[in-house]
Structure 1
Amino acid sequence: MNDFTQLNKQYIGGEWKDGRGQKILTDKNPYNGESITEFRIANLQDIDEAYQAAARAKEEWDKVNPFTKRSILEQAIAYIEQHEKEMTEIIIDELGGTRLKAAFEIGLVKDIIREAATFPLRMEGKILPSPVDGKENRLYRLPVGVVGVISPFNFPFYLSMKSVAPALGAGNGVVLKPHEDTPITGGTLIAKIFEEAGIPKGLLNVVVTEISEIGDTFVEHPIPRVISFTGSTQVGSRIGQLAAKHFKKAALELGGNSALIVLEDADIDYAVNAAVFSRFTHQGQVCMSANRVIVHHDVYDEFVTKYVNKVSALKCGNPREADTIIGPLINERQVQNLIATVEEGVREGATPLLRGDVHGNVVEPIVLADVTTDMAVAKRELFGPAVCIMKFSTEEEAIRIANDTPFGLSGAVHTANLERGAEFAKKVYTGMIHVNDGTINDEPLVAFGGEKNSGLGRLNGPWSLEEFTTLKWISIQHTPRQFPY
């Protein structure tokens, strides 16, 4: 048995204990439906206790030398490296990730902690000039205090850590609420890592619960000053409104409907590889996935033939098998939502070039052609292994199609002319877009975030430092000032 399956408790105030809620949450393997473990969920009292603990521990964290803080965060990386095999297994079992996906996710986690480990040494202030004689202006960068983090089920280890590690590195206390489908990988595993690294007790708390139990309390509690949420646009909109109501800052990384555009001069074989990777990585359960592949009519037939051939060869099924590319979706509800959207698209006129079977939560690839911008499959985020292929004749038409969505997270464009690609990319209204690459990219030093309904704010590098800190102006009047009265 994987030792991490024993992490089935709340982690509050540095202690592992059952929640006070009445409900038992069963953590299931999405591939075979087997129970991994069970949690007694947290209730409102647990949420309050977690936030209170984070606030107290933050005062202790303030007194720790920045170089010591850096060392503690580096110890977290060392713990991960010592337990990568077990972490790979829990990613496979709890969220149906393939071995390839697990390696990718663990690598991202280590990279973001390495960046966060520099934050204690980057809490820099400034001395600024003043128009008032004898005045010294000091500007201090300070932690916001306590950060609440809500993470999703698709990349739970990384998307939790992406906020947790920088928030800790910037000097904050943290309360993390993982998705109920991935409470270990997105929650208690992270608590274990930082417990072993040596952070003060209570600085990081993990509460496993459900909205039916706690309502909006996680966001509305008076202690957290920043709420970092990754998940659906619908839920993100509500969290943003609640945060604004209580004068909190919300960092929102939300859904996407990314386009990968293939211009007529592109390297077709390379573009096919990038497009397949961009759609079918982790069964398409990636916010940056290329939902829409938009291809110039001159190369459309060649691209589609090669694309369908490559997708047809992807192995589907058991994520424990090393060569599996497409494993299960996280739960039956996600399967049903995807199939319903695909069926609606077919009724609207989309042509299924490839439509595999459904085995439990494993959905074999679906490739839809003749898709237009008014169809459901083009408008919605397809959070699964289904893709829309669309045709265009001019660059202006391609840009119009790419921008005809309320989302704006990622994208890609393929062309032999790199500067043409860069100019094209500037015209696509999205937070991130890549020339001659896939739509799925995330790096620890580069601003990550979306436009429109894909979110607010940016994470990674100095942008995470901005999200989880505030500025305080302290002025010192060295000589008496002349007041007007």
Structure 2
Amino acid sequence: MKYIGFESQFINGDWVKGSAQGEIKVVNPFNQETILSVSTASKQDVDIAYAGAEKAQQNWGKLLPQERAAVLKKLIQVIDARYGELHEWLVSESGSTALKAHIELGSAKNIIEESISLIGRATGSIMPSSIAGQESRAYRLPLGVVTVISPWNFPFHLSMRSVAPAIALGNSVLLKPSSDTPITGGLLLGKLFEEAGLPKGVLSVVVGKGSEIGDYVVTHAATSFVSFTGSTPVGHRIGQLAMGNPIKRVALELGGNAPIVVLKDADVDEAVKATVFGRFLHQGQICMSTNRAIVDASIYDEYVAKLLAHVKTLKVGNPAEMETAIGPLINEKQVNEVKEKIALAEKQGATIAYAGGINGNLVGPHVFINVDPNSAIAKEESFAPLLPVIKAKDEDDAAYLANLSEFGLSSAVFTKDFERGVEFAQRIRVGMTHINDISVDDQTNAPFGGEKNSGLGRFNGEWVLNEFTRMQWITVQKTPRPYPF
């Protein structure tokens, strides 16, 4: 039987109606049909969820490692059994193409598997002591209650990326998903963890408007850590709020403006393929998406010609159809912003070499040439299928252009000389660079995160282990110590 009851909140293991006034409509971004409406959570609901989370964490954090691992192993089994159902939700609620939904579910499962491994890696240490008769220990402990605020673009994966390791490491979690994707970003996780046997209170999901409970979940005294994935302006605000009393730890995974740099010795055909997939996957609505192509002047014309030929083959349409490459943007607001970006790009001198059209929330691919590197289309993040192609004079100029951004999340470099690519990559101030591959990559054992205005902290593997635990130094004086007075 398919899951039902998504009109409610998931608070302390119970499905209850939100006590705030109003509802959030869940709308299919492709056909604009209302799927259902979710009652919204109030500050009182948040208080109840946090109180339950604090109480539940005390027991959850003390469970044997294998007991916590068993719940996550069961979670993977539940996801496998409900794979088709979850896939349908991602397509209908978030506008994911069939391919993107498949990628997202696979990534989420990988995160859970990695989280299981973290349980056995959360070790402390015995250290040498400078005091006679003393044993010096470092204990790794859960943080307590973790708050996760997730976005709408990869809602299931980006919620699970924080929720699974936080829970694996003995924390409890309050999850606030985006209002655009409250089901795939939140309530589905509540159903899945509930079926997997997670004790009540270890996970709560509160759906509400950011203007009503957004700041409240960040500043709430019960939470020790805030994991936020979303826009840079909101991330700045969360960082400021987290410095209140008491101070919260934060991990901020924010915006990006990833360049793909095509050096003069690159395989142009391969670079074009990577550009198109890296830019237009999920309509460009990915923080790591290839936001701009920087191409050496000697191969610029060849690259543009082959790029346009490839882009023209992309099918724009119903995301449920397997052959669709580009589906809808998440909502009308995003479409209007895209229209403004296109108009501004032309005003600032860029030439539209290809315009894929706009029909409702469907925005076809748009390719710009003659782009000023200091123009908005080149320097700002475009969460849309817009691609500016910028000409670089030489390798030094390409490095300068790659760094000409306030963001520093991901990047890609194409060259036939691998080590030259690595040396060039180290000249780019970003958290991640991929040689001869797309800028979109997230692997569970590699550090994921950015520099500059792309965020703070790292996800995955040992890096996320350090984010979701705290170290406590404890000494044991086993023999009497002589004090000077």
**TM-score, L = length of structure 1:** 0.99
**Displacement of 1:213 after TM fit?**
2.0
**Displacement of 1:4 after TM fit?**
4.0
Partner residue in 2 for 1:3: 2
1:87 counterpart = 2:111 = no
Q: Distance in 2 between matches of 1:287 and 1:369?
A: 22
Q: How does 1:288-367 map to 2 (within 5 A)?
A: 288-367=288-367
CA distance 1:177–1:280, shift in 2 (3 Å)? same
State the SS of the aligned residue for 2:323: coil
Amino acid at match of 2:371: V
**Displacement of 1:119 after TM fit?**
2.1
Q: Distance in 2 between matches of 1:38 and 1:215?
A: 19
Contact 1:92 1:320 (C-alpha < 8 Å) held by counterparts: yes
Contact 2:6 2:38 (C-alpha < 8 Å) held by counterparts: no
Amino acid at match of 1:431: G
Contact 2:29 2:329 (C-alpha < 8 Å) held by counterparts: yes
State which drifts further: 4-13 or 263-272.
4-13
Q: CA RMSD in A?
A: 1.0
Partner residue in 2 for 1:25: 24
Amino acid at match of 2:135: E
1:196 counterpart = 2:195 = yes
Amino acid at match of 2:281: T
Partner residue in 2 for 1:175: 174
Q: Distance in 2 between matches of 1:252 and 1:120?
A: 23
Partner residue in 1 for 2:230: 231
Amino acid at match of 1:477: Q
Q: How does 1:423-462 map to 2 (within 5 A)?
A: 423-462=423-462
Query: Once the two structures are superposed, what CA deviation does each residue of 1:418-442 show, in whole Å capped at 9, x if it has no partner?
Result: 0110100000110000100000000
Query: Once the two structures are superposed, what CA deviation does each residue of 1:103-144 show, in whole Å capped at 9, x if it has no partner?
Result: 000000000000001222222111111111000011100000
State the SS of the aligned residue for 2:30: coil
Q: How does 1:97-176 map to 2 (within 5 A)?
A: 97-176=96-175
Amino acid at match of 1:132: I
State the SS of the aligned residue for 2:307: helix
Partner residue in 1 for 2:183: 184
After the TM superposition, which segments of 4 or more aligned residues of structure 1 sit over 6 Å from their partners? none
**Displacement of 1:30 after TM fit?**
0.5
State the SS of the aligned residue for 1:321: coil
Amino acid at match of 2:397: E
User: Which runs of 5 or more structure 1 residues have no equivalent in the other structure?
Assistant: none
Query: Once the two structures are superposed, what CA deviation does each residue of 1:30-64 show, in whole Å capped at 9, x if it has no partner?
Result: 01011111111000001111111111110110232
Contact 1:8 1:184 (C-alpha < 8 Å) held by counterparts: no
Partner residue in 1 for 2:13: 14
Partner residue in 2 for 1:397: 397
Q: Distance in 2 between matches of 1:471 and 1:290?
A: 38
**Displacement of 1:27 after TM fit?**
0.5
Identity score, percent: 49
Query: Once the two structures are superposed, what CA deviation does each residue of 1:211-263 show, in whole Å capped at 9, x if it has no partner?
Result: 22225111000011100000000000000111122311110000000100111
State the SS of the aligned residue for 2:428: coil
Number of aligned positions between the proteins? 484
Q: Distance in 2 between matches of 1:325 and 1:316?
A: 6
Query: Once the two structures are superposed, what CA deviation does each residue of 1:162-181 show, in whole Å capped at 9, x if it has no partner?
Result: 00000001100000000000
State the SS of the aligned residue for 1:25: strand
Contact 2:61 2:142 (C-alpha < 8 Å) held by counterparts: no
**TM-score, L = length of structure 2:** 0.99
State the SS of the aligned residue for 2:135: strand
Q: Distance in 1 between matches of 2:443 and 2:471?
A: 26
Query: Once the two structures are superposed, what CA deviation does each residue of 1:332-388 show, in whole Å capped at 9, x if it has no partner?
Result: 000111110121011110000011211110001110111122111112100000011
Partner residue in 1 for 2:372: 372
